Amino acid sequence: MASRIGVLTVPTRYEGLLDSVGQQQIGQILLESEPDLNAVRSALVEVASAKQGKLLFLLGSTGTGKTTLAASTQIYLASHVSAVLSPPPDYELALSELPAWLHKNINSSDRQKGIVVVNLDGRELPAIDEAARQAAMVNLNAYFRRTSNLLAVWPVINRPFANDLIRLLEEVGGRSALAQQPVHELVGVPKERYYDALSLLLTATGNRLEDAAITREEAESLVETSESIGDYMRQVNDLVVSRYDIGELGASLPRLSIVVSSNADSADSCRMLRRGSKFLVDPERLLQFSRANVADDWRTSGKRDPRHSLPFITSLFEVKLLNLTGSMVVNACAFADDAAIQAEVRKKYPNPVKRNAANTLNRSSLVRSLKGEEDVGPAGGAISQGVSDAYKDLQKFSKTAHKLINKSIVRVITDDLEINLPDLRYEYQPHQNEGLQVDCWYQRDGRPETLEFTHRLADELSPASISSYCLGKIRDYARDYGLI
């Protein structure tokens, strides 16, 4: 089965949203609903004044933002809430076991700092056994009465279910464990802010609608037919999936990584042409720094058909721009399988140390990318004169020995750093009798990946020259795979 195609995904639930942006950025993309926050705020005030736990049901259909509201209380109601805790869902933790789990897992130090919000998500259907439910409510009521600074919010889609549990709690302990208004029906984010929520998500993840050949007008047009913010995100995601659907071609479309090496620091030039922290190229910056006629050609083809635009094509190939220092290349080639390459390096770098190749490459953006890490490593660094001279000598015959240099680099990655690149091939042609010849080809996770190396001198490192090379490679791939 082929892996996902394209860089753009639109999470439709809070858990997916959190996975996409991370805990540190989640507060930057959530849009608050004041009526819903006010309802939770009132319940928090009740908890503080009653000096015991309370229960508040959040009623709403799927996608209205119940889980998001519960999770965001620590962000928007930080003066009240010290922590948010989510017990396992019902299929992992039965309702009868919930009170004991809360007693064991709620940190007393968090309750001393403020109110702990417990999100009882994943418990939207009643247990079949009436006696078991009643016993669970007895224990839950007892736990709330003996525990201060605790608010349990219970997202539900069924009002009769909430009413039934309220009845059981009242039977075993009156209304003391319930918020004054025990059921709050979610208002949710207003429709006029649905597109704003999408924009914040795209900004946080470093993606754009153009990556999936979608216009702003198309995304905005989905607002009116959406019943909730979750439904809107689902409709946008469905549109993304439909645009990325390229039939049987998707099974063979490779991920493309362009790797620039030099005897000067290439990190700044490469970073100037990337976006976010995933090493992905920024199509607009490539066009900005490229020759005007090349940029005009891409923009014209994109206007005729969004699927022929540069953002969409680079998204399909998930094009990354990576870099290596001259030291990484020289140290790899100093112990190449080919004696001529070794000899060329050692003329100017006579005493190489074998472990230096792995040590230096391990810090490269190429290896970080292969490991699935982000662009947070060192920018690069100066190299010695001997290494620089050795790199220049290598670069002189990189056209005739291009494959040998690339094999030397990749050998360190696979043998010394033990990164598995299955079905590894060099100068491979994916399609017979076509022009594309891939420097390095391998396949992971059900999808091909390629490395295209370019070895340059310091005066060939301008953003314009790198942009031109990248655009040429992207066009070669797009043409060979029948995308343009």
Between CA 388 and CA 390 the distance in angstroms is 5
For residue 68, the number of C-alpha atoms closer than 13 Å in the C-beta half-sphere is: 28
Q: What is the pLDDT of residue 150?
A: 94
Please give the class, per CATH, of domain 32-185.
alpha beta
pLDDT score recorded for residue 395:
83
Q: Are 325 and 458 in contact (CB under 8 A)?
A: no
Only one residue has tokens 């989510």, namely 86
Confidence band, pLDDT 50/70/90 cuts, at residue 319:
very high
Q: Tokens for 139?
A: 């224990």
Q: What is the pLDDT of residue 430?
A: 87
Residues β-bridged to residue 156: 59
Q: pLDDT at position 24, please?
A: 65
How are beta strands 447-456 and 438-444 bridged, if at all? antiparallel
For 218-258, how does the pLDDT look when each residue is reduced to its tens digit (9 = 90+)? 999 999 999 999 999 999 999 999 999 887 666 689 999 99
Q: Pick from 464, 457, 450, 458: which is nearest to 320 by CA?
A: 450
Burial string for 94-122 (b: 16+ CB within 10 Å, else e) reads ebbebbeebeeebeeebbeebbbbbbbbb
Give me the pLDDT at residue 1, please: 41
Q: Angle between the 14-21 and 194-205 helix axes, to the nearest 10 degrees?
A: 30
Q: What is the mean pLDDT of the chain?
A: 88
Q: What is the dihedral of CA 261, 263, 266, 267, to 10 degrees?
A: 100
| pLDDT tens digits along 156-173 | 988 988 998 899 889 887
Percent of the chain surpassing pLDDT 70: 94
Handedness of CA 281, 284, 288, 291 (dihedral sign): positive
Q: How far apart are CA 264 and CA 382, in angstroms?
A: 7
Is the pLDDT reported for residue 177 higher than 70?
yes
Residues 332-365: tens digit of each pLDDT: 999 988 888 888 888 888 888 889 889 999 989 9
The model scores a pTM over 0.75: yes
The mean per-residue pLDDT over the stretch 265-270 comes to 87
| % of residues, the chain, pLDDT over 90 | 49
Has residue 216 got a pLDDT over 50?
yes
If one compares 473 and 295, the residue with the highest pLDDT of the two is: 473
